Amino acid sequence: MPVQTICRYTFIPILSAFFCLCSPQVVAQTENDTTDTGKKPATLHPGRQLSVGFNLMGPVLNNLVTNRHGLDATADYYLKNEYYAVLEGGAGGSEVHYSDLKYTTNNYYICAGFNKNILTRESNKDWDMMFAGLRAGWANINRSEASFIVVDSLWGIKEGQSPAKSFQALWLELNLGMRVELYKGIMAGWNVRSKFIMNGKSFKDLQPLYISGFGRGDKNAVFDFNLYLCYAIRWNRVGER
Amino acid sequence: MTKILGAFCALCLLVVVGTSCTQERLPCLTPKTVTMKVKTVKWVNSSLTTDTVLQTSLWGAVTETGTRGYGYAGRSSYALTLSPVADSSVWLFAPDTATGTPIDTLTLHYERVLTFLSNACGYTYYFNLQSATNTTHNIDSVRILNASITNNASTNHLQIYVHPNP
């Protein structure tokens, strides 16, 4: 069994279990918690929040994995009823230098969607969230000319090139994650993403090794983990509780 | 807050370790060798054929560097490769080397279809068989059963009708 398969099927259950175990800690209540008293919280007016951030895993992976690179940014805006509009974007690429296959890709991407906070807000100051979300993603990919070698032990070696090509990728994402405020507008969180490519057949002739924003280009469904550091600005907050 | 930060750091560590497994090239699990499956049959009468097992048959690939022969015993089905460097391949065929039957030449003309298998496997060539010509020392005729030659090993592509008494 390949190492990556072992890792995938080892770490996904571990991380899933880890998230489940962490969740009660994240939602652990403070001493002022009103949940147990049965009181219905008064209507809150948290106002507006715009947060911008970037994916901490991008720079880390750029150093760890030599054949791919990417950077991701995110922005979200609080709408109402614990719904957040989300816009994400980034750029990256991959470099394939195998003995029988060589090419590079570069791409940029945009994701748009929403998050729904499933935690009960405790006060107007409470912007911690555990969320589920949906995204639609689009990437524009430029692939260089690919050089390849087909080796046949009987007939000989055939070398060739596949011309450069630009194409697009479309995908849908399901997101689960959490975000907490560390200090006065500085927020950190993680999310787990299940991504499903919608037009995989359009680049079957040479699936890119990596699509920034999506992941492995030769898979129709991928899982991804992101760790975000964000800064939030707020306004129109009515009163404090 | 301490718990959250602890969980956050642990998550970072797990993800870093997990993703560090993705650096190597995955092994190629798709068949890269594309073979043309050939079946030998014999006329029983003017309208009926039967699979014929050739006891000591010989196949030879005529390549740029010479002829490479492959002997088979007790077979009626053969897997031959086609050249990815040309649009035709020549195979020599002797159905019974024990009796010293003359050798036939089988020339196959085809279109090469460059096919990307995966990043793990790279490219290979599939073929669309266009025609097959042969000499008639031992071969009565040749029939293309399926012109599309891919890495699907379960399809018969070519049927060779051998003379009743080669």
- The predicted structure's pLDDT at residue A5: 43
Tell me if residue B112 falls in helix, strand or coil: strand
Contact B123 A157 (CB under 8 A): no
Reported ipTM: 0.78
Which member of A11, A98, A101 has the closest CB to residue B18?
Answer: A11
Domain positions in chain B = 38-162
Q: Does A186 touch chain B (CB under 8 A)?
A: no
- The predicted structure's pLDDT at residue A24: 45
User: Which CATH architecture group holds A3-32+45-235?
Assistant: Beta Barrel (2.40)
**Chain B residues closer than 8 Å to A130 by CB:** none
pLDDT tens sequence across B69-114: 888 888 889 999 999 999 999 999 988 887 777 899 999 999 999 9
Nearest-angstrom CA–CA distance, B105 and B94: 9
Long-range contacts of A158-164 (CB under 8 A, 24+ apart): A158/B84, A158/B85, A158/B125, A160/B114, A160/B123, A162/A103, A162/A205, A162/A206, A162/B114, A162/B116, A162/B123
**B40, B76 in Cβ contact below 8 A?**
yes
Contact B123 A101 (CB under 8 A): yes
DSSP code, position A142: E
**Chain B residues closer than 8 Å to A56 by CB:** 12
Chain B residues at the A interface, defined by Cβ less than 8 Å, are: 1, 3-5, 7-8, 10-12, 14-27, 61, 63-65, 68, 81-86, 89, 114, 116, 118-119, 122-125
Q: Is the pTM of this model over 0.80?
A: no
A–B: how many Cβ contacts below 8 A?
122
**A187, A232 in Cβ contact below 8 A?**
yes
- The predicted structure's pLDDT at residue A39: 55
Domain positions in chain A = 3-32+45-235
Question: In a structure prediction context, what are the per-residue pLDDT tens digits for chain B, which is 166 residues long?
Answer: 555 555 565 565 555 555 554 557 888 988 888 999 999 888 777 666 677 788 888 899 999 888 888 888 888 899 999 999 999 999 999 888 877 778 999 999 999 999 999 999 999 999 999 999 999 888 889 999 999 999 888 899 999 988 776 5
